[in-house]
Structure 1
Amino acid sequence: MAARCGYTAKGMIYITIGWLSMMAVLGMGGSNGGSSAAINKLATQPFGSVLITLLAIGLFGYTAWRLVQAIFDAEQKGRGWKGILTRLGYALSGLIYAGIAINCVELLLDSGGSSGSTASHTREIMSHPGGIVAIFLIGLGFLGVGLRQIWRGWQHSYEKNWHLNEMTRMQRLIAANVSRVGLIARGVVFMIVALFLCLAAINTDPSDARGLGGALAAVAEQPFGPWLLGLVAMGLMAYGSYCLVNARFRNVDA
């Protein structure tokens, strides 16, 4: 149940991020923001406090599921170097979404809601011995995750985690194609984030670092930026839909 609630919460965040970017492209308000922008937008809706409360509960559930995957090897990745790296990735993902859940709680308590920008976090890490190397390695980590997301989307490897026998033929077709688009789009965005983190380390300039919102802004700044951003926005909404498919059909046996 925790995992399914978590995938639902994660899906809603990505759908909101994509929707806000699409609205920016269409000149209907919106913004090129990350998870914080999405949470703040949801908070302004009717029953916003209820939505944010449910989101926080779901994200803490997702954190718990990721830690179960990492510690107890629920996905049976093994103890080889590849399995260990994958499980470390699960743990890192869990911690990231725990941070987003805490931001939700802070927003509910009216204590700020946001824990700082990517650049400020990067500056804090780089201020410590070995911090520059750590940022570069984090950038390489994002690059690896981005490439893996694209590979998973292209190979349809995610289908092995679904209860396909519970899906109709049409549901399989729609879910498979939406998931492919979503994973590839998220992979591309993660690779852009990786580029900025690595540049921040190489130039020893924390202001070069950008998170998800910064990556979307960078896309918008390119030639044909609005068109590209529109495609990425639809891709992120597709990724959110992929998360919702996971919430319903994914095997989450621990």
Structure 2
Amino acid sequence: MNLSSISSHIPSPQPQWVKPLAKFGLAAKGVVYCLVGILTFMAAFEIGGSSERNLDKQGVFRWILDQPFGQVLLALVAVGLVCYALWRLTQAFLDTEQKGTDAKGIGRRVGYAFSGLVYGSLAYYSFRLVLGSQNKQGGDNSRRTLVRELLQKPFGQWLVGLIGLVIIGIGLYQIYRALSGKYLKNVQTSAIKTELKEIIIRFGKIGYIARGIVWGLIGYLFIKAALAANASQAGDSSRAFAFLEEARYGSFLLGAVALGLFGYGLFMFVRARYEVINTST
């Protein structure tokens, strides 16, 4: 009897631990985006003396830390972001989404890995805040630091400009997902109560569009930095919010984007509840 041939037909155990990781991670991401939306809306209309400055995710972590029981709350968010990062890395390296190894599949898996690394770094930052080993005011903007270093390299302006185009592409893809309905691909909408379904779907669509706009603005700022060979032109979401605020009717534009980001955060809770989490490898 050929044991190797028999074992090849026995399905390998499915990593069921992926599901709680994904659900807790999506919920933590929802908390972060809801807070980004609320604080940005307050900044847009100067409610409570809020400012659009420092309203990136790291700024939200610092805000959480300043609340009663802030360390406990931020620690829970950090654990959730670790779960989200691990889920994305699992999708990338174990291919639980069955994307395959062709060019398109590899591209999607690289995207999962990139998302995992980004949220892993956010979790690391938030844990450092909890432990008190990170300056609450934050350091120099990481994106500006990256741009400054790249501009000192050969063809640095071209590299920064290329990064800006890639970021804009990511933003356009977010908007495409919203308008095409692909953001609902893995969500069991049939399980959502009929009276809530239309509102929830609309929250998701507006949320992905708002997120795409923010990505697009960040990419535009990278291109501005490349053209001017000036790292200070680049920035993160807080700089993108400031850019919107400076436009004509800026408060209303920023307020609309803020509501969209809040909607995106709510939709992350919907995903945590109703998304089909693949665990096959």
The corresponding residue for 2:121 is: 99
Which one of 22, 43, 46 corresponds to residue 24 of structure 1?
43
> Could you tell me whether the CA contact under 8 Å between 1:15 and 1:236 is conserved in 2?
yes
% same residue: 36
Q: Structure 1 length as normaliser, TM-score?
A: 0.93
Q: Does 1:194 align with 2:216?
A: no
**Which residues in structure 2 correspond to 1:87-166 (within 5 Å)?**
87-112=109-134, 114=138, 116-117=140-141, 118-128=143-153, 131-166=156-191
Residue-by-residue CA offset, 1:232-252 (whole Å, 9 max, x unaligned): 110111111111111111112
> Could you tell me whether the CA contact under 8 Å between 1:6 and 1:62 is conserved in 2?
yes
Kindly provide the amino acid, as one letter, of the partner of residue 160 in structure 1: K
The corresponding residue for 1:180 is: 205
Residue-by-residue CA offset, 1:178-197 (whole Å, 9 max, x unaligned): 00000001101100101111
Q: Could you say if the C-alpha distance between residues 84 and 203 of structure 1 is closer, same or farther in structure 2, counting changes exceeding 3 Å?
A: farther
Q: Structure 2 length as normaliser, TM-score?
A: 0.85
Residue-by-residue CA offset, 1:99-119 (whole Å, 9 max, x unaligned): 111111110121225453021
Q: Determine the C-alpha separation between the residues in 1 that align with 2:257 and 2:104.
A: 30
> Which shifted more, 78-87 or 51-60?
78-87
Structure 1 residue 16: Cα displacement: 0.9
Aligned length: 254
The corresponding residue for 2:16 is: none
Q: Could you say if the C-alpha distance between residues 66 and 129 of structure 1 is closer, same or farther in structure 2, counting changes exceeding 3 Å?
A: farther
> Which shifted more, 8-17 or 222-231?
8-17
Residue-by-residue CA offset, 1:123-161 (whole Å, 9 max, x unaligned): 234444565444333222211111111011111112220
Structure 2 unaligned blocks of 5 or more: 1-19
> Could you tell me whether the CA contact under 8 Å between 1:141 and 1:194 is conserved in 2?
yes
The alignment's C-alpha RMSD in Å is 1.7
Kindly provide the amino acid, as one letter, of the partner of residue 21 in structure 1: T
Kindly provide the amino acid, as one letter, of the partner of residue 77 in structure 1: K
- Whichever of the two has the greater Rg, that structure is 2
Structure 1 unaligned blocks of 5 or more: none
**Which residues in structure 2 correspond to 1:36-75 (within 5 Å)?**
36-75=58-97
The corresponding residue for 2:242 is: 217
DSSP 3-state at the match of 1:74: coil
Kindly provide the amino acid, as one letter, of the partner of residue 22 in structure 2: A
Q: Does 1:80 align with 2:102?
A: yes
Kindly provide the amino acid, as one letter, of the partner of residue 11 in structure 1: G
Q: Determine the C-alpha separation between the residues in 1 that align with 2:146 and 2:65.
A: 24
Q: Does 1:204 align with 2:229?
A: yes
